[in-house]
């Protein structure tokens, strides 16, 4: 498969089918892009959109967020899930304010040094906010490349050297085009080449897809993790946080006790929230956001 066989059709498809998302618009700030990348980790776009809009309205810059307590970030995070991301985003805003003059850095290395920013997020912000030529490998991109190029239904659990090399090989030489390619293949994975029930009939490269040419063989690698929520510590943590998010100030322990019946699980979840810095125990025995 040549680069043009894959890249050019996907770029044309993206021109016609790209969703109008606020962090992709020409007037989107690098801060908007960074906020979106934090929020989109393990959370669907539909749930992120209203929270992202409210977040940018309240905190249009990293400096604005850094000026408020981290607990306000947790409160505004609402029900997006995995609320430690809110603390990390607040920490990133603080670092941007203290070390970069309040401006989201454009250097991959500087981005990678921010709290809560890993390889993918650093590359994504450099590409999508600053139009740089970066290898951007999220779950959707990795799945598209696994199917179209290597002929496997799903990629390995962790990013491999071969995936990075392939991603670099496919990148167009022109930086702005490379940035568009990165978001285009990501969009294809989100809308067409999905994990479950992919819409291969609507794929612009289905005729060149190695997975399709092989008869779409079922995945036979290590078992893929299946996430559950009901009855888990995650759900319990969410219930306890919801009590605190909905209350300005502190609450007595009895309010938290009423949120979850299983006492050992509730105590374990509360202890983990305190350890993660998401809940603060007050000297008077009451509890509040940090």
Instruction: List, by residue number, the catalytic residues.
Output: 37
CA distance to 57, 112, 120, 220, per residue, from 65 (Å): 11, 20, 23, 45
For residues 273 and 235, what is the distance between their CA atoms, to the nearest angstrom? 12
Contact 120, 142 (CB under 8 A): no
C-beta neighbour count of 275 within 10 angstroms: 9
User: Would you state the structure tokens that stand for residue 6, as one six-digit string?
Assistant: 């894959």
Q: Are strands 287-288 and 280-281 parallel, antiparallel or unpaired?
A: antiparallel
**Neighbour-count burial for 115-144, b at 16+ CB within 10 Å, e otherwise:** ebbebbbbbbbbbbbbbbbbbbbbbbbbbb
SS3 (DSSP) at 281: strand
The neighbouring-strand residues paired with 280 are 288
Contact 87, 70 (CB under 8 A): yes
- Residue 274's contacts (CB-CB under 8 Å, 6 or more residues apart) are 280, 281
Contact 139, 133 (CB under 8 A): no
């Amino acid at each position: 498969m040549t680069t043009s066989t894959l890249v050019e059709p996907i770029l044309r498809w993206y021109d016609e089918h790209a969703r109008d998302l606020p962090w992709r618009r020409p007037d989107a700030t690098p801060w908007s892009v960074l906020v979106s990348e934090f929020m989109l980790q393990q959370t669907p776009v539909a749930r992120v959109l209203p929270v992202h809009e409210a977040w940018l309205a309240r905190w249009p810059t990293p400096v604005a967020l850094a000026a408020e307590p981290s607990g306000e970030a947790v409160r505004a995070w609402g029900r997006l899930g995995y609320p430690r991301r809110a603390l990390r985003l607040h920490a990133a805003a603080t670092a941007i304010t203290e070390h970069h003059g309040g401006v989201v850095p454009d250097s991959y290395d500087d981005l990678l040094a921010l709290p809560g920013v890993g390889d993918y997020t650093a590359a994504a912000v450099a590409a999508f906010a600053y139009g740089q030529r970066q290898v951007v490998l999220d779950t959707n991109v990795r799945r598209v490349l696994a199917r179209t190029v290597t002929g496997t239904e799903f990629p390995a659990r962790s990013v491999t050297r071969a995936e990075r090399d392939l991603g670099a090989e496919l990148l167009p030489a022109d930086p702005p085009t490379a940035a568009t390619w990165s978001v285009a293949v990501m969009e294809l994975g989100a809308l067409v080449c999905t994990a479950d029930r992919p819409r291969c009939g609507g794929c612009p490269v289905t005729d060149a897809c190695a997975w399709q040419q092989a008869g779409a063989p079922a995945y036979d690698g290590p078992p893929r993790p299946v996430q559950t929520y009901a009855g888990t510590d995650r759900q319990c943590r969410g219930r306890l946080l919801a009590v605190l998010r909905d209350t300005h100030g502190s609450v007595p322990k009895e309010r938290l006790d009423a949120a979850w019946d299983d006492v050992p699980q509730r105590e374990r979840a509360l202890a983990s929230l305190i350890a993660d810095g998401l809940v603060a125990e007050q000297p008077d025995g009451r509890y509040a956001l940090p």
